[in-house]
Amino acid sequence: MKLTLPFFSERETSAPDVRMGQRSSMLEYDQSLLWIVLLLLLGGIIMVYSASVGLPDSPKYANYKNYHFLARQSFFVITGLILGVFAFRVRVEQWEQATPWLFLGALFLMVLVLIPGIGKGVNGARRWIGFSGLNLQPSEVLKLMMVFYAADFTVRKQQYMHKLTKGFMPMAGAVGVCGGLLMLQPDLGAAGVVVCIAMGILFLGGFNIIWFGGITGVLGSVFSLIIMLSPWRRERLLAYLDPWDPNNAQDKAYQLSHSLIAFGRGELFGVGLGGSVEKLHYLPEAHTDFLLAVIGEELGLAGVLLVTGLFYWIVRRAFDIGRQAIASEKYFAGLVAKGIGIWIGVQTFINMGVTLGLLPTKGLTLPLMSYGGSGVVINCIGLAVLMRIDYENRQMMRGVRT
């Protein structure tokens, strides 16, 4: 029985007309995608070093060397690239077969991080598992596993996509468990990304548009209720609405106000690489969540637009790769590719929106660039899977079996 996903024309869902054994001159992998990822990783290393070079002057980081974060970020990038190479060598079919176990493994890590003595707490949040001087953030693993699980679920339940009970409720239960575990950390930002990934893939898989709109409204109400019932989240939201109020600027909107000052100082072309003033203990977490503010100050609007353009290209390319896979009737691969695009796109949008004052402050890093081992490594693995999907698309076009 031929499976057909909605929202695709007959032209898009027809397999490419190629002769088996006929080889073309097309490249076996997407070099442009690889180079853009490497450019963002290299740019991240440079900007993390620039943003963190002055941190040892503060008592909190007094025992650190000036190159501490540079060395660690370089290590994370190298590790991510090595694991990415291994991930690229895994066939998409094998990822599909392993999806249930991978998703359960991610849930196990999410439970493990909540256990005292195992999970590591920082600033009131328990989000890391520490071992041998390194920290694993399970929520980053969960984002990629949610891409796999949602794509696998959509393919398996395609005939029920127009039904609420069989087409949505099982997925809602899985997302609810993930969201509940994330809120126990607590990590509302990661919960929002996970929900967007799941809902986006369900929508692309043909979930009933009327039900989708209604459920989206309900989810929006739930997130609003969570914010309203949490005093510190409510205060942060009110501070976001008026960051220049003296009381807010010295409290809940401190990061946001200094982030906006950084962008203002950068103007069109920035003050020059390494010339940021805000990174000198004025802007907290400048090397992690607010790295874009340092980019804006040192490289100006031109640098921010360049970074934005590179991320846009990755997201657009992910959707193109997904469409090509679906055209070859590789539905799981196609939805995974688009899910990776949703993941990178949503997290990038939230991080940029926060640093630019378009969204309330949330603790989400800029993919591929911000300091952090779990984020960088999982981003590399996810994009390696995307490149593998494109590789298998190209092999099929060349008439080569993978």
As a whole number, mean pLDDT of residues 128-138 equals 81
Residue with tokens 């914010």: 227
Selected residue with higher pLDDT from 57 and 376: 376
> Are 400 and 47 contacting, i.e. CB atoms less than 8 angstroms apart?
no
Secondary-structure breakdown of the chain: helix, strand, coil percentages, each rounded to the nearest 5: 65, 5, 30
Q: How far is residue 162's CA from residue 206's CA, in Å, rounded to a whole number?
A: 8
Q: Verify cis geometry, omega within 30 degrees of 0, for the bond prior to 100.
A: no
Residue with tokens 């057909």: 4
Burial class (CB in 10 A: 0-12, 13-18, 19+), 69: buried
Pair of tokens at residue 347:
């997290």
- Per DSSP, helices labelled H in 267-372 are 291-327, 331-355
Name the residue ranges covered by the structural domains of the chain.
40-89+255-402, 103-221
Q: Which helix (H) or strand (E) covers residue 127, if one does?
A: strand 125-131
pLDDT of 267 > 70? The answer is: yes
Instruction: Tell me the per-residue pLDDT of 175-195, one tens digit each, with 9 for 90 and over.
Output: 889 988 998 888 888 888 999
Q: What is the reported pLDDT for 386?
A: 97
Q: Report which of 173, 191, 174 is spatially closest to residue 227, judged by C-alpha positions.
A: 191
pLDDT of 7 > 50? The answer is: no
Q: Tell me the percentage of the chain whose pLDDT exceeds 70.
A: 90
Instruction: Tell me the per-residue pLDDT of 103-114, one tens digit each, with 9 for 90 and over.
Output: 999 999 999 988
Helix, coil or strand: residue 134: strand
pLDDT of 272 > 50? The answer is: yes
Q: What is the reported pLDDT for 20?
A: 41
Its pTM stands at: 0.88
Range of lowest pLDDT (241-255, 321-335, 340-354, 388-402)? 241-255
Instruction: Tell me the per-residue pLDDT of 80-92, one tens digit each, with 9 for 90 and over.
Output: 999 999 999 999 9
337-374 b/e (C-beta count within 10 Å ≥ 16 → b): bbbbbbbbbbbbbbbbebbbbebbbbbbbbbbbbbbbb
Instruction: Tell me the per-residue pLDDT of 347-361, one tens digit each, with 9 for 90 and over.
Output: 999 999 999 988 887
